[in-house]
Structure formats: C-alpha cells, structure tokens
Amino acid sequence: MTAAQILGAAAFVSSLLFVWPQVVALFRTGDVDGVSVPATLWASVAYVLWMIYGVREGLPFVVLANLQSTVGFGVVVLLAARRRPVPRPVWAAAATGVVLLGASAVAAPTAAVGALAIVAGASGFVPQAIVALREQDLSGLSITTYLLIALSTSVWAAYGIAEADPFLVAPTVLILPCTLTIAVRIHLTALRQAALLSAE
C-alpha cells in the first residue's frame, strides 16, 4: 500500500469512529441538551457533497466515509427532533438547501463541488460551536465525538496532502478550532455537574 492509501484507510476509520459515539449517547440517555439540529442537518448536506466529490475524483475512502457519516448524523437529527420538535421553517430551509445544493452539485464542475463541500462542511460546525459557547448545559453532547472529529479532520488533511488535493486539506482550518472549542465546553459542563454533585 502507498502512503496515501494508508492515510486514506486511517481517515475512513477515524470518520467511522467519530460519528457513532454521539448516536450511542443519544440512544442510551435520550438527552439532547446542546445538540444543534440545524448544524447537524447542514453537516449532513456537506457529507453528501463530499460523496459526490469523491465519486468524481475516484476517491473511494472519501465516498465510504461520507456515506456512513450521512447515515449516522441522519440518525442524530431524527433522535434529536423526536425529543425536541424542530420548527417547520427550519425543516423547510434544510430541505430547500438540500435540493439547491444537490442540483448545483450535479451540474457543477468538480472543483465547484469541492468548494461547496468545504463551505458546507466547515461552516456546519460554527452553529454548534456557538451553541456550545452560549449554553451552560451540554450534557447531551458526546465529548468523544468532537475529539474524534478533531483527530479525523487532521488525518483527512494529511491524506489530502498525500493526494495533493487542497480540497481535502482546507476544511481543517475551521473545523479543528470549532471541534476543540466544543470539546472543551463539554468538559467544563462535566466538571460543573461533578462539582454540584459533590456539594450535595
């Protein structure tokens, strides 16, 4: 195997690992505090765009990683929406965005699809980071998920460098600081809850 193939396999495995802890946490606890449904929906749109990009560029690791991420985050959206109803305008905006981006991706050149995937993927973490900074209770979020996303985006960047593909490298610039911010805020929530329990 080449270095690029090894890094691609590692990137796929890292994507597989970061999605499912959040799903398991929601199934186990039913706690959706801190989960941003719009952010998760937007991230799912990005995963679909990355799948299209991967197919066009002949990058099977990109296709497979984003396929399972789409499924995993789709489950998160459904579980969160069941516990905390989402306003219809949010669903309408999400559906419109999916249709418009999907149509654009089919017709657009590969470079444009890659650019759309970067914008959608990287910006999708911003709403969740804002929620994490604003809210005090993030007990519904999995710190494992966000630490693994930080690791995963770093591995994908290394894979992008090995493939000489700037589109795979660029998302790291925004995703890494956002995910680390969210992870720190989740950790602070856990510390506050532990302090309250010990004080009782």
Taking the chain (200 residues) in runs of 10, the rounded mean pLDDT of each run is 89 82 78 71 82 91 91 83 72 70 74 87 81 83 85 92 93 91 90 78
Q: What pLDDT digit, counting tens, does each position of 115-129 carry?
A: 988 888 777 788 888
Angle between helices 37-57 and 125-134 (to 10 degrees): 150
Residue 109: closest CA among 164, 30, 167: 167
Three-state DSSP class for residue 181:
helix
Q: What is the pTM of this model?
A: 0.73
Q: Which pLDDT tens digit goes with each residue over 1-35?
A: 788 889 999 998 988 777 787 788 778 877 766 67
